[in-house]
Structure 1
Amino acid sequence: MSGTDALPIRRSNRTVELLVPALLGGLILAYFALPFVAFLSRTGAANITAGLSTPETQHAIRNSLITAPIATAISTVLGVPLAYVLARRSFPGKRLVEGLVVLPLIVPPVVGGAMIITAVGRFTPIGAAAAAVGVPLTDSLLGVVLAQTFVAAPFVIITARAGFGAIDERLEQASRSLGYGPLATFRNVSLPLAHGAILAGIVLTFARAIGEFGATMMVAYNPRTMPTRIWVDFIAGGIDAIVPLALTLLAITLVVLAAVQRLARVPTVIDR
């Protein structure tokens, strides 16, 4: 049998080998898609415009659009340098630091919120001191930012670390050999080369922050954000009551997904 004749046979065998994995993967994809289809099918029964025009809903949207970018900015400014250190240096206690970075991803958000309260709640020394000067750390927009930062910051740290780790260190060494200091090398070499991963981490951090519910509910149930407002509306009026705000949050999520696919290496993973 010639090589040309054997090629269709190999392709056929490969198709058979992939059939079972494809069927199993199709089941989980169907499970992912079903809730979206079922939820979107209810939009016709809800008055979207009226739902979004209520003062409570508008305040929730405003609060989320204020706090999530702030939490993302804090996570980026503090997290990217940490990511670089973790990618480039070995030091005593590094595993402990890595564990602390991952911990907020593992701890249930409600438990994370309880932990934040024990650290900065109004009856703690830090919380009492902040409240005494008129800056309450709980039940305030600042409390929302604290909760969002706690649960979302690991995304930018982990993603940026992967980006820095993929850079050839010889490029940074070449910059240093030309007389540039550590900060100049970081700004002119490391950041530009890792910008795709960093931007993806920033976008993912924003998505996690704006959708955060558990920790936010514990630390700052008031003022409402979109997730906490959705919960209140669901308790009061069921599924139809939350459709307008839920669609708004879903739209933001879809924009985030599109941004991740454009900015990061995620598309190469998905396409495979």
Structure 2
Amino acid sequence: MSRDDGAAMPWLRRKPARRFSAQPLAGAVPAPLWLPAGCALALIVLPVLGLLGRIDPTRLPALLTSPAALAALKLSLQTALASTALSLLLGGPLAVVLARSKLPGLRVLRALVLLPLVLPPVVGGLALLYLLGRTGPFGDLLESAGVTIPYTTTAVVLAQTFVAMPFLVVGLEGTLRTSGAHYERIAATLGAGPWLTFRRITVPLLLPGLGSSLVLTFARALGEFGATITFAGSLQGVTRTLPLAIYTQAQSDVDAAVAMSLLLIAIALLVIVAARPKAVEGRA
């Protein structure tokens, strides 16, 4: 068709092809979900804002620098770091066993490992107390050797490890399962032994998930309350961590309890932000 024909008969002109947006519609949020999502966010955020409105901000520095608050914060950080290190020392190998071994009853073993995630923490504290206390089977042996664990700082670390270690095990096991075992099989075919394969292949595979798992383990240990107060008690400077200090102060000085609660919330937010990699935002 010539240009003159097109001018004489405009109905013969081809319509330009319709361009579609490059943005996929599948990623759009359905409108009915916004209301319950907003209610869920309000349920989380509004109580925290209520704490902020409960206290005079000018009193925060004095309340947070009181001897009781500083002692509780120091003890919390020390015990949370110790329990995180203990969780890595014990939970790291356990994650490898769960992800790579062919033990019979592995599903039951995994369920036992995850049990502290669903149990009330006070139940874990009672279990530790009746295991390592004076009347417990191991506690009697420890007492005869002159070692006492309940109501000591060691008891705080053990209680925090009991409730926090599953977070590390779950994170590392998931990393190993998604990374696959073909690199380890290749190393075995090349003559590498199990220990060499673990050091050179398995440990590097664990590194991508190790950071976030450690941070979440630390956060859970830092906020532990039920198992700690049951197994370790609440002795200032010895076993009274920040959550226990909040509970104690709430009965006598509400403003001090609110101030320490805000401090714990601020630390938890920093930990959560550090644990959430930017790659998660990049996938959105």
TM-score tier by shorter-chain length is 0.7 to 0.9
User: Is 1:130 aligned to residue 146 of structure 2?
Assistant: no
The answer for the alignment partner of 2:256 in structure 1 is 241
Aligned to 2:171, which of 124, 136, 159? Answer: 159
In structure 1, what is the Cα distance between the partners aligned to 2:197 and 2:181?
11
Q: Map 1:162-201 to 2 at 5 A.
A: 162-201=174-213
Aligned to 1:228, which of 244, 250, 254? Answer: 244
Letter paired with 1:256: V
Q: Could you list the runs of 5+ residues in structure 1 that have no partner in the other structure?
A: none
Give the aligned length: 265
- The structure with the larger Rg is 2
Letter paired with 2:259: P
Letter paired with 1:32: I
Q: Is the 8 A contact 2:163 2:220 kept in 1?
A: yes
Q: Could you list the runs of 5+ residues in structure 2 that have no partner in the other structure?
A: 1-14
In structure 1, what is the Cα distance between the partners aligned to 2:57 and 2:267?
22
In structure 2, what is the Cα distance between the partners aligned to 1:3 and 1:128?
84
RMSD: 2.5
In the superposition, the TM-score normalised over structure 1's length comes to 0.88
Letter paired with 1:67: T
How far the C-alpha of 1:140 sits from its partner, in A, is 0.5
Structure 1: which 4+ aligned runs deviate by more than 6 Å?
none
In structure 2, what is the Cα distance between the partners aligned to 1:124 and 1:210?
27
In the superposition, the TM-score normalised over structure 2's length comes to 0.84
Letter paired with 1:91: L
User: Is 1:20 aligned to residue 32 of structure 2?
Assistant: yes
In structure 2, what is the Cα distance between the partners aligned to 1:136 and 1:234?
30
Aligned to 1:143, which of 143, 148, 155? Answer: 155
Q: Is the 8 A contact 1:68 1:148 kept in 2?
A: yes
Q: Is the 8 A contact 1:167 1:190 kept in 2?
A: no
How far the C-alpha of 1:2 sits from its partner, in A, is 8.8
Identity of aligned residues (%): 37
The answer for the alignment partner of 2:224 in structure 1 is 212
In the superposition, relative to structure 1, how do residues 3 and 218 fare at CA in structure 2: closer, same or farther (>3 Å)?
A: farther
Letter paired with 1:18: P
In the superposition, relative to structure 1, how do residues 132 and 225 fare at CA in structure 2: closer, same or farther (>3 Å)?
A: farther
Larger helix fraction of residues: 1
Q: Is the 8 A contact 1:136 1:142 kept in 2?
A: no
In the superposition, relative to structure 1, how do residues 4 and 26 fare at CA in structure 2: closer, same or farther (>3 Å)?
A: farther
The answer for the alignment partner of 2:92 in structure 1 is 80
